[in-house]
Structure 1
Amino acid sequence: MRKNNLVKLLAVIVVVPLFLVGCSKNQEKITIVGSSALQPLIEQAGNDYHLAHMSSNIVVQGGGSGTGLSQVQAGAVEVGTSDVFAATQKGIDAAELKDYPVAVVGIVPIANKGVGVKDLSTQQLAAIFTGKVKNWRQVGGKNLPIIVINRSRGSGTRTTFEDLILSGKEAVNSQEQDSNGTVKKIVSTTPGTISYISFPYANDQNIQKLSLNGVRPDNQNIPANKWPLWSYEHMYTKGKPNKATAAFIKYVLGKKVQQDLVPKIGYLSIHEMKVARDSQNNITQIGK
């Protein structure tokens, strides 16, 4: 009798690990790498999707748009996320990639609350980031040196900001950071600092969001391009995605995410836009 019980116990010990291995093999792993601006939306969408599809395993990482595009092109990940069009990036063959624009995100200049400035002209902002203006007093603020914090090269947010504000001028040498969250923390705690972050990260009362030319940085001003600092958020796959990846992208583009989650986190649905922007930053009216 004892021998039979021992045999049954051993059988359970062997079967359980095999069952667990089988479950792990059946998990539909999707690795998504790239834009830190899009990361909050994809992380939350991935968590929600997993609750309804328990076999899914969605891993979301930052690293910047350049990293996302290069990784998906190399076939190292299922999805590369980007704030910029793949066609604008050196070393990326956009013809190999399939583009899924999933949202629009605003970008806002931010400063430490002690600088004494709440609004800048586009020209003043460009002068600060090219090093021509070095003290806040020169733009109506306090007598305080300006410390520029830039995003790292390869950041889609930086590319968009420089394309739209600097118009080809060289940015001043400055400290560089690779994530929106780190930039926000530095600006909130370091006197004289200025930088820029995407709207979903700009919910901290310890930073000063700067208006541009008297226009407030909010989502209501983006659809008609009244607030010009915005970009599409792209999910790229290398050619046709596999079944699991296609299903998740379809979920992100669906009603639940676009109408509920996108605005909740601070983005705009692409369906709200009244204008379109191409890879050369040309603006056209939608429907014309």
Structure 2
Amino acid sequence: MKKNYIKTLAITGLTILAMSSLAGCAGKTAETKASDTATTAGSKTDTTAAESTTAKGAASGDLKGSISMVGSTSMEKFATALSEVFMEKNPSVTVQAEFVGSGAGIEAVGNGSADIGNSSRNLKDEEKAKGINENIVAIDGIAVVTDTKNTVGNLTKDQLISVYGGTVNNWKDLGGSDQPIVVIGRESGSGTRTAFEELLKLEDKCKYSNELDSTGAVMAKVASTPGSIGYVSLDVLDDTVKTFKLENTEPTPENIKAGSYFLSRPFVMATKGEISAQNDMVKALFDFIYSDEGKELVKSVGLIPAN
């Protein structure tokens, strides 16, 4: 009887011990699983974060390659500043700019030899018909300049038309000295010339003494020629020449924006097709131009933002 009692106690003890051991193992297993789950979750979070960072880097992405711009000499100052800033922001991108005139720029983008055609005039209907898109990036004023010794300081629109149309040939007829007027302009195909003649309704009617192939050449010729008159982009003005008021209005960005200065024209960066159809580098360039920072760049070179 005693032996059976002891045997029963032993079996009961072993059963309790086994149950305790199993409970302990079960508890440990649950803790381990919880810990493993937390570790796995943490690992997944780290991986997701890393993948997110990688994706973000790819999205904002290091652009790589080159952009070619061809066209207007009047846009040289703006295009050069734009290229420098954009390349600084995108070290793996090269922006190559060639300044050979608006007509040549539009032709280059039309035949695919350039990504962007810079034009200092609006596109013609026949150019748009070829699938070339007019992207206006800034507004420029055309300044009328003379040599620094000229005593005439203001011209009316009619007087300017008379000078370039060839019906007034001496400064004395405009209140100045008895001195022949030397009429200087740009070459055929120049965006500045096209815009100037269209604004004065003198297309193919101007009587030029000299037709020069760049804005810089016009500035130099006017500065060195007594009695001369020429037209240039607003952003190249300096003290080597005298700038006329037109209708008693200075050629300033403020006056152009207000509409009180009548000689102004668009700066166009033309593309073959819409901007959205261009490669990532070109799209990024236009994104920058139309951004707040881009607008400040436009202002810094003496132009007016397009929007």
The alignment covers a number of residue pairs equal to 242
Match of 1:76 among 100, 104, 113: 113
Alignment partners' CA distance in 1, 2:176 and 2:229: 13
Per the alignment, residue 133 of structure 1 pairs with: 168
| In the alignment, structure 1 residue 223 sits paired with structure 2 residue 257 | yes
Structure 2: distance between partners of 1:85 and 1:221: 21
1:59 is paired with a residue whose SS is strand
Who is 1:208 aligned against? 242
Q: Deviations over 1:168-221 (max 9, x none)?
A: 47111421112111111111111111000011011x112110011111111111
Q: How does 1:1-288 map to 2 (within 5 A)?
A: 27-88=64-125, 92-168=127-203, 170-202=205-237, 204-239=238-273, 240-258=277-295, 260-271=296-307
1:11 aligned partner: none
Q: Deviation digits for residues 2-43 of structure 1, max 9, x if unmatched?
A: xxxxxxxxxxxxxxxxxxxxxxxx951111011122221121
Instruction: Determine if contact 1:130/1:169 at 8 Å carries over to the other structure.
Output: no
Structure 2, unmatched stretches of 5+, are: 1-62
In the alignment, the residues of structure 2 paired with residue 169 and residue 59 of structure 1 have an alpha-carbon distance, to the nearest angstrom, of: 33
The structure number with the bigger radius of gyration is 2
Q: What CA distance in whole angstroms lies between the structure 1 residues aligned with 2:203 and 2:240?
A: 32
Letter in 2 for 1:157: T
The answer on whether the counterparts of 1:106 and 1:198 sit within 8 Å (CA) in structure 2 is yes
Q: Is the 8 A contact 2:110 2:130 kept in 1?
A: no
- How many angstroms apart in 1 are the aligned matches of 2:124 and 2:182? 33
TM (norm. structure 1) is: 0.80
* Alpha-carbon displacement from aligned partner over 1:215-268 (angstroms, at most 9, x marks no partner): 11111111131101111111111122112111112112211121x211111000
Q: What CA distance in whole angstroms lies between the structure 1 residues aligned with 2:64 and 2:93?
A: 6
More helix by share: 2
**Structure-1 residue corresponding to 2:46:** none
Change (3 A) 1:168 1:154: closer
Code of the residue aligned with 1:105 in structure 2: it is D
Q: Is the 8 A contact 1:115 1:144 kept in 2?
A: no
Matched-pair contact (CA < 8 Å) for 1:130–1:172: yes
Q: Distance between the aligned counterparts of 1:53 and 1:168, measured in 2?
A: 42
TM-superposed CA distance for 1:100, in Å, is 1.6
Partner Cα separation in structure 1 for residue 298 and residue 128 of structure 2: 29
Q: Retained in 1: the 8 A contact 2:145–2:230?
A: yes
Q: Structure 1: how far apart are the matches of 2:285 and 2:182?
A: 41
Q: Residue 215 of structure 1: SS of its match in structure 2?
A: coil
Secondary structure of 2:239's aligned partner: coil
Counterpart-to-counterpart distance in 2, 1:222 and 1:58:
30
Q: Secondary structure at the match of 1:233?
A: strand
Moved over 2 A (4+): 92-95, 166-169
Deviation at 1:85, TM superposition (A): 2.0
Deviates more, 1:166-175 or 1:191-200: 166-175
Give a deviation string over 1:64-111, Cα, whole Å, max 9, x none. 1111111100101000011222225x6x24451222211100101101
Instruction: Give TM-score, length-normalised by structure 2.
Output: 0.75
Q: How far is 1:115 from its partner?
A: 2.1
What percentage of residue pairs aligned between the two structures are identical?
Answer: 29
Rounded Cα–Cα distance in structure 1 between residues aligned with 2:124 and 2:209: 27
Higher strand share: 1
Kindly tell me: are residues 168 and 43 of structure 1, through their superposed partners in 2, closer, same or farther at Cα, counting changes over 3 Å? closer
Match of 1:16 in 2: none
- Over 3 Å counting, the alpha-carbon distance change for 1:31 and 1:168 in structure 2 is closer
Shift of the 155–264 alpha-carbon distance from structure 1 to 2, 3 Å rule, reads same
